[in-house]
Structure 1
């Protein structure tokens, strides 16, 4: 029998959504748009340009724009035109976003504990190392695909 890693990742992702949605509902951050992913990235990259944020979260520009519009509408972020490049916008968190930072980080830490359960510290380290390698493999693959696409245009 062939095992498919994607099946496991997909199932874990769906369970994650079930875990997060009720906890994020009071912040209007639940749903399939992954608003919280953008907010969590902004906490560590406040002032990032929208295009860079889109690359960091590995989501397309349209999804990024929609999510940022929602976050802005909810009062979690604001955007300022970049002084270096007038076509780009820098994104910043608001005090409202900073107020919920610790709680959001706790929600994600709790989900990590659910997923990692009874794994030993060594197993956890191995798992993260393997997941980083898998992510690197996938990233390399898609970067190569993009290069090939660009070369064939």
Structure 2
């Protein structure tokens, strides 16, 4: 396995998706992270900021910055949680809901573009394997992985 090339391929896919989304939503003032937040809120409306940051595996400060931006732009609102008055849940505004189909459509267009020429069974296989890899990455024990690598090098 050529690790250098595989890492580069993941990087290219990620950076190009970010560039595409930034360009596609520039006119309405949304950036990549804001779109990712909205997509996750479409499926999980009412969750709190900490849960959203956890789902996306991002730092709370990055979540706060993007949520504040979405609130200021009128895409989402915060409401006090009735069970825990200290917590605030996130809800889409009508404006946020109005862009759902456009956001989904443009993301689907990107996926169709990058998978053009790949048969449906292979696409499904790749997506399934990416889901498995993403879940493994989500649950990775970095210290164990790093120490295992260091221990292996010490043995040589």
Match of residue 100 from structure 2: 101
Mapping 1:94-133, distance limit 5 Å: 94-133=93-132
Structure 1 residue 106, shift from structure 2 partner: 0.4
2:41 is the counterpart of 1:46: no
Q: Following the alignment from structure 2 to structure 1, what is the Cα–Cα distance between the partners of residues 39 and 2?
A: 36
User: How far 1:125 sits from its partner (Å)?
Assistant: 1.1
Q: TM-score, normalised by structure 1?
A: 0.86
Structure 2 CA distance for aligned equivalents of residues 82 and 139 of structure 1: 27
Match of 1:75 in 2: 74
Report what 2:15 is aligned to.
14
Per-residue CA deviations over 1:5-29 (Å, capped at 9, x if unaligned) read: 3211111111112222221011111
| Displacement of 1:3 | 3.2
Residue-by-residue CA offset, 1:41-73 (whole Å, 9 max, x unaligned): 111111111111111122111110000000000
Q: What is the number of residues matched between the two proteins?
A: 143
| Structure-2-length-normalised TM-score | 0.85
Question: Which is higher, the Rg of structure 1 or of structure 2?
Answer: 2
Residue deviations 1:101-149 (CA, integer Å, cap 9, x gap)? 111110100011112111111101110111011112212214x75xxxx
